[in-house]
Every structure is written in C-alpha cells, then in structure tokens.
C-alpha cells in the first residue's frame, strides 16, 4: 500500500516534491492544491490539480499533506490550520519564529491526533542535524555554517525592488580562506564579512543610473551592507542564459577537541553541492513525509522537527535491511 501524498501550494518547491514522489515507489501523489484556478495550472508529471478549498473534503484520501508555501506569510497560517486535519510537513525557515510556529503546530496536531513536522529541508534540515550531531559527539567544539555558492532568492528579490532594476540574481559565496582557517582547527572568530561574499547580476532599465543602483545594493542594510559585494550589470538575455538555474549548497564544519588535556583535534565537515535547491529541499521533505506517516501509524502525534525523528523512520526499508546494507 502506498503512502498517499498531497502537495499544498505549487511553486518551485511543489514541483520539486512532485518529481521527488516519482522517485519513491512506496508513495503516490493524490494531487496538487493551488489557490489559482486549477484549470490554469499544468503540473510537471501530470498530477491532478485541485483548488485549496477542496482539501478539507479529502482528509480520508491523503496520508500526509506537504505544505509548499512561503515562510513569511503562508506557513505560519497554513501549517497549524492543516495540522487540524492532516499529517503535515513544511519547510518553515524563519529561524527566530520557530518556537512560536512549533508551539502552534504542536497544539493543532495534538488536538487532531496528527503529526506535524516543521522546518524540513537542508537548512533548516540536514544542516541542523549536522550541527546537533556534532555538538553532541564533540562537546568542546565550535561549529561553522557556510552557505553557497548558491542563489539567494531573498537577496535577488531585494535587488529587484530597487528603482530601475528589471531583474537580478544574487549568489552567496563562501570565502575560501575562511573555510581553510576553520578546517585547520584554529577555531577562528569570523565576522560576517570574512565568511561570505555576495555577487549580483543585475538587469536595468534603459538609461537607469547604474552608479546609483550599485550604491543602493552595496549599502542595503541587513542584505548587503555587511558584505563585500560585487555588482555586474548584464542584459536580460545574459541573465536568462547564464543564471537561470537555482543551485545552492554549503558547509557545516565542526572543529573540536578530546583527550586528557584536550590535546587532540577533530574536524567534521558536511557539505552539499546542489544543482537545484528546491528539488533537493523537496527530496528531504519527501523522506520526512514517510516518517510522518510511520509515526502517525504508530499512534504518535504533535509537532516534530528533524531532531525528534530516528533516521530509520525515513527509510522505506526494514530495520533488518538497513542494518545489513548501511550500518
């Protein structure tokens, strides 16, 4: 019997989930739920499209609802609301609001007897796991997270809001010398500027004041002011040709000490190099959707994060098989 999945929200992440489900033979996609007119939505693999208003009539047809909305305004509302009716999973990534979101989803899921897994993906997600495992196995240690090289959607959007800008793509790039300093076990103190640089490819309107735009980007608080930022003005054709992908990735590096006098150094490094940020995020979510289903079948309920879920729950294989093949 398959695990029956619904996709709630159909953008890049939703399309990634749709493709990922095809790669997991123990799952089937019931359909995609959209706020748009379903007739106007064409899915990647031919999945059925429903209006979001139809979701609550299908609680008996869906084992896990994967919520693919945005963290700013969608998920804080959608995940608790849907957890009242479905096992749910989301990729909520507004770090400061995790406690509040966890608490809201937990209350809803406990009331309905469902499972809600929040903040799944690679960061938060796989990177969080690496930070936690490292902290536990090396208590005297420091962890460093680097992102990139990859496209930051938030930073690209921020540039697009500048007057005179038609389109933009921003890459976050880790500083190689900072990575090397961390890998050496020196436990360096690194400023924001020392860890990452930002590279921007910007398409502007004819006659726009490039100097003003470049200055507005480089001095933008929070987004760019604390970084060494490079701005390239290119044509729309160049942007579409050279910068249409959504690659990302990064590093979690932990440097710790053991021994009687803490004389031995250990370096743990986890890195991701992703051709498609949304597709990898989707793949992680789909594995955790399996865990949501298994936990629910076992009678568990409430809100979970990746920290609360035993790795074996992610696998379609039996405990015996994974011990034999992967231990």
By CB under 8 A, what part of segment 33-72 binds its own copies? Answer: 44-45
* Stretch of residues binding its own copies (CB under 8 A), selected from 47-55, 82-90, 217-225, 283-291: 283-291
Shortest distance in whole angstroms from residue 277 CB to its own copies: 10
Query: Is 94 a binder of its own copies (CB under 8 A)?
Result: no
Told to check if 276 binds its own copies by CB under 8 A, we report yes
Q: Among residues 175, 208, 267, 300, which is the contact residue for its own copies, using CB under 8 A?
A: 267
CB 305 to its own copies: min, Å: 6
Closest CA to 286 of 17, 9, 3, 13: 17
Judged by CB under 8 A, the residue of 34, 78, 119, 229 near its own copies is 119
**Contact pick of 135, 162, 173, 175 for its own copies (by CB under 8 A):** 135
The stretch among 73-81, 146-154, 190-198, 273-281 that binds its own copies (CB under 8 A) is 273-281
Of 198, 283, 289, 301, the residue at the interface with its own copies (CB under 8 A) is 283
Cα 136 to its chain centre, rounded Å, is 23
Site of interaction with its own copies (CB under 8 A): 16, 19-20, 23-24, 44-45, 95, 98-99, 102, 119, 124, 126, 128-129, 131-133, 135-140, 183, 258-260, 263-276, 279-280, 282-284, 287, 290, 305-312, 314-315, 319-320, 322-324, 326-327
């Amino acid at each position: 019997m398959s695990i029956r999945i619904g996709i709630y929200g159909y953008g890049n992440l939703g399309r990634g989930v749709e493709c990922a489900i095809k790669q997991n033979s123990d799952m089937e996609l019931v359909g995609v739920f959209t706020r748009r007119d379903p007739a106007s939505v064409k899915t990647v693999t031919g999945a059925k499209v429903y209006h979001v208003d139809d979701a609550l009539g299908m609680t008996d047809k869906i084992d896990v609802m994967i919520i693919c909305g945005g963290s700013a305004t969608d998920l804080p509302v959608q995940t608790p609301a849907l957890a009242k009716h479905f096992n749910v999973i989301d990729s909520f990534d507004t770090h400061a609001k995790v406690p509040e979101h966890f608490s809201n989803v937990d209350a809803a899921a406990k009331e309905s007897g469902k499972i809600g897994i929040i903040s799944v993906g690679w960061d938060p997600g796989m990177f969080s796991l690496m930070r936690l495992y490292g902290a536990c196995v090396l208590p005297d240690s420091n962890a460093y997270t680097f992102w990139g090289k990859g496209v930051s959607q938030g930073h690209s959007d921020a540039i697009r809001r500048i007057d005179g800008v038609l389109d933009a793509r921003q890459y976050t790039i880790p500083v190689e010398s900072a990575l090397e300093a961390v890998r050496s076990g020196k436990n360096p103190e690194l400023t924001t500027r020392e860890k990452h640089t930002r590279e921007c490819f910007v398409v502007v309107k004819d006659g726009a004041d490039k100097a003003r735009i470049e200055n507005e980007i480089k001095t933008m608080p929070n987004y760019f002011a604390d970084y060494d930022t490079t701005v390239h003005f290119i044509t729309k054709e160049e942007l579409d040709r050279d910068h249409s992908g959504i690659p990302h990735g990064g590093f979690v590096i932990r440097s710790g000490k053991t021994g009687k006098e803490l004389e031995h150094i250990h370096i743990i490094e986890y890195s991701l190099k992703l051709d498609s940020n949304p597709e990898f995020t989707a793949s992680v979510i789909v594995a955790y959707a399996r865990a949501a289903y298994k936990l629910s079948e076992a009678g568990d309920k409430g809100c979970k994060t990746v920290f609360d879920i035993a790795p074996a729950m992610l696998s379609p294989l039996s405990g015996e098989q994974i011990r034999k093949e992967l231990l």
